[in-house]
Amino acid sequence: MSLQQLKTAILPAATLGVIGGGQLGRMFIQSAQAMGYAVWVLEPDADCPAAQLANHHICAAYDDPAALELMAEHCQAITTEFENVPADVLRWLGERVPVAPSADAVAIAQNRIVEKTFIEQGGVAVAPYAVIRTEADLKRAETRDELFPAILKTARMGYDGKGQISVKSAADLAAAWNDLQQVECVLEKRLPLKFEVSALLARSWDGAVVHYALAQNVHRNGVLHTSSVPAPNADMDLTVRAQDAAAKIAQSMNYVGVLCVEFFILEDGSLVANEMAPRPHNSGHYTQNACLTSQFEQQVRALAGLPLGATFQHSPAVMLNVLGDVWFNHQGQQRNPDWFGVLSHVDSFLHLYGKAQPRHARKMGHVNFLGKSLEKAAERCELAMSALVGLAGGVHD
């Protein structure tokens, strides 16, 4: 479906729909409601973060026929807040109302094998890899010495370090595949990384594209820890190359919405696509406080066919993920984090997701730190981490 088929933009006072009820859906709702839209959410979890704010929550499975009929009847356009919504659900909805991103685009991101093949065929480099579906595939991969050391990743459903096992040599591969229940996997070569960046963009129904500055990311235990923006180690040449590659990927999918493409930057300066997220991304949360248009407002604008917003970043920023670990002290007793210490500077902004139960490695919120320089923003982040570490016993050491 195109904007031409839409006839006209979907204006405030209309109802938008979200499939999925996590924190990304919650922040989409906050932006949509601020612009005057009502939002319906389809999510099986009765107490999900998005349901707490939605104008209406359909508590049902994503593929529930009656629930989908209601979404199609009441929503003028529908998006998804995570990529593991069944593509067939989005395809069915897309035959009835505008859906962005499309089912085809989301389907690509749902499977690492399809994703890597698609990106590579589009002329963007990916890490050397092998597909493992069968014992024969496993045996062939064991003979490819150039792939090791490597990471074995499940083709589907892996995120935040889940579904991934480091494989030092071919001798370790069979055991790793067994540990992953012999599901369809990608064996990906470990590359000599210099750093990692995210390229965040938005693309409208008519093909217009706007880019945000590159974010430089630090991961801990497979989970994003901080994003610093603009990326301190990325020069203009690298920034342009990453943004151009992300735009090429978006255009080849005829993508509509917010798209994030993560890139590895190698020691020789070359750029390798890691994976893409067909939605707002954790590394783009800084846009809520540092940019004229947040990634969530941009998602609303793109879905509704409105002009895309300005991506100008008025302040350097560091985004810090807040995990459930910091709700526990050194003895493992649950208590409230030191929010006073976290917010000890006026340029610190707390965003919590409404999750009642903190758990180890669970994303509970984030804090955006701004400054006149990236160094100042990083200093404020360090001070806040010290306040949290005092409770968590070294979680962020």
User: Is 203 labelled a binding residue?
Assistant: no
User: Is 91 labelled a binding residue?
Assistant: no
Q: Residue 248: in which H helix or E strand, if any?
A: helix 236-252
Whether 222 has a pLDDT exceeding 90, the answer reads no
Query: What predicted TM-score, i.e. pTM, was given to this entire model?
Result: 0.94
Cα–Cα distance measured from residue 110 to residue 155, given in angstroms and rounded to the nearest whole number: 8
User: Is 351 labelled a binding residue?
Assistant: no
User: Is 254 labelled a binding residue?
Assistant: no
User: Is 158 labelled a binding residue?
Assistant: yes
Range 66-76 average pLDDT: 98
pLDDT one-digit tens code per residue, 363-387: 999 999 999 999 999 999 999 999 9
Q: Given this model, what pLDDT does residue 303 score? A: 97
Of 322, 393, 394, the residue nearest 358 (C-alpha): 322
User: Is 275 labelled a binding residue?
Assistant: yes
Q: Given this model, what pLDDT does residue 330 score? A: 81
pLDDT one-digit tens code per residue, 95-117: 999 999 999 999 999 999 999 99
Of 372, 211, 339, 353, the residue nearest 287 (C-alpha): 211
Task: Give helix 87-94 / helix 65-74 axis angle, nearest 10°.
Answer: 40
Highest mean pLDDT among 40-44, 82-86, 355-359, 384-388: 40-44
Whether 2 has a pLDDT exceeding 80, the answer reads no
**How does DSSP classify residue 308?**
P
User: Is 129 labelled a binding residue?
Assistant: no
Range 183-189 average pLDDT: 94
Neighbour count for residue 57 (Cβ, 10 Å):
20
Q: Confidence band (pLDDT; 50, 70, 90) for 347?
A: very high
Q: Given this model, what pLDDT does residue 170 score? A: 86
Cβ partners under 8 Å of residue 164, min gap 6: 151, 152, 153, 154, 158, 222
User: Is 194 labelled a binding residue?
Assistant: no
Cα–Cα distance measured from residue 120 to residue 25, given in angstroms and rounded to the nearest whole number: 30
Q: Given this model, what pLDDT does residue 333 score? A: 87
User: Is 207 labelled a binding residue?
Assistant: no
Q: Given this model, what pLDDT does residue 157 score? A: 73
Q: Is the dihedral of CA 154, 363, 127, 115 positive or negative?
A: positive
User: Is 289 labelled a binding residue?
Assistant: no
User: Is 255 labelled a binding residue?
Assistant: no
Which tokens is 317 given?
A: 């920023």
User: Is 139 labelled a binding residue?
Assistant: no
User: Is 168 labelled a binding residue?
Assistant: no
User: Which has more pLDDT, 158 or 344?
Assistant: 344
Domains belonging to the chain, first-starting first, are: 3-109 (3.40.50.20), 128-189 (3.30.1490.20), 193-392 (3.30.470.20)
User: Is 37 labelled a binding residue?
Assistant: no
User: Is 188 labelled a binding residue?
Assistant: yes
User: Is 279 labelled a binding residue?
Assistant: no
Strand partners, 328: 334
Q: Confidence band (pLDDT; 50, 70, 90) for 189?
A: very high
Neighbour count for residue 82 (Cβ, 10 Å):
19
- When the pLDDT of each residue in the chain is averaged and rounded to a whole number, the result is 93
Whether 221 has a pLDDT exceeding 90, the answer reads no
User: Is 360 labelled a binding residue?
Assistant: no
